[in-house]
A = this chain, B = another copy of it.
């Protein structure tokens, strides 16, 4: 019998998606950081939909402070809205916990979610609680709506050969503390889509080695990566920058003739956050190959 470990995460998703009816608009279905719902040509605002889950002993440990788990659970979703050029609006929070869980743990979890929602101007719209049998890990599943102005929408599937690849921040080493306390790059993407709109963008959740090929494949491109030029987090080497995952930085592409102006303007707006050219998009079938990064069913 074939198991999920045999097939891996990306192939699994492709198979599952084919079994369920989908919207006629490609951007409205699975495949990007968020689903994009277009209410029609007369509307300037598109709706974004996203769901994400945090699982005990996978995304956090039993002794991780619950307030940090709550922040992380909500901030991961905010990061996905940022990756589309949008912003978060309404959250639905599902917690699946065993009955012996301490009340204070769950309250702190919600305080962390609340911290994140207040920081980014979002609200709780609903939720669900369910029990799991004793010994099972907690699961926090968050779905949310967001919005994006039509002219600011950035997909991951619209990079072109010749475009320059850039990344915010530094990569690798998130597992120590950053994965719990990261700031979704929504200020940065909000500025980018207004001043230097990327041709494609996604957030880095599973490591550049896994996420960059996803962006390239979605765009029908290849890529050339300057590994020696990657912005490394303190104490990290190139291998970790490629494969640690949970960076929650923005990976994006830009027409090459706009890159110099962006690199000049950026430090004046975001003096504390590096912005680095890490390569370029090329024709499909050409360029580099990358493997590794996080696969939920193969770790």
Q: Tell me, in angstroms, the Cα distance from A51 to B13 when the chains sit together.
A: 21
Q: Is the CB of B143 within 8 A of A16?
A: no
Smallest distance from the beta carbon of A298 to chain B beta carbons, Å? Answer: 7
Residues in B with CB closer than 8 Å to A53 are 94, 96, 128, 130, 141
* Residue A58 CB within 8 A of the other chain: yes
Q: Is the CB of A132 within 8 A of B124?
A: no
Q: Tell me, in angstroms, the Cα distance from A90 to B130 when the chains sit together.
A: 23
* Residue A28 CB within 8 A of the other chain: yes
| Interface 1/0 per residue, A72-106 and B, CB below 8 Å | 00000000000000000011111011111111101
Q: How large is the interface on A (under 10, 10 to 19, 20 to 34, 35 or more residues)?
A: 35 or more
Minimum-distance CB pairs A-B, first 8: A143-B143, A141-B141, A35-B125, A51-B92, A5-B99, A20-B114, A20-B124, A19-B110
* Residue A34 CB within 8 A of the other chain: yes
* Residue A57 CB within 8 A of the other chain: yes
Q: Tell me, in angstroms, the Cα distance from A23 to B22 when the chains sit together.
A: 30
Residues in B with CB closer than 8 Å to A126 are 29-30, 34-35, 49-51
Q: Is the interface of A mostly helix, strand, loop or mixed?
A: mixed
Residues in B with CB closer than 8 Å to A104 are 1-2
Q: Is the CB of A97 within 8 A of B4?
A: yes
* Residue A9 CB within 8 A of the other chain: yes
Smallest distance from the beta carbon of A128 to chain B beta carbons, Å? Answer: 5
* Residue A113 CB within 8 A of the other chain: yes
Q: Tell me, in angstroms, the Cα distance from A168 to B50 when the chains sit together.
A: 34
CB < 8 Å neighbour of A21 from B4, B117, B145: B117
Smallest distance from the beta carbon of A129 to chain B beta carbons, Å? Answer: 6
| Interface 1/0 per residue, A1-16 and B, CB below 8 Å | 1111111010011011
Residues in B with CB closer than 8 Å to A7 are 103
* Residue A234 CB within 8 A of the other chain: no
* Residue A111 CB within 8 A of the other chain: yes
Q: Is the CB of A30 within 8 A of B143?
A: no
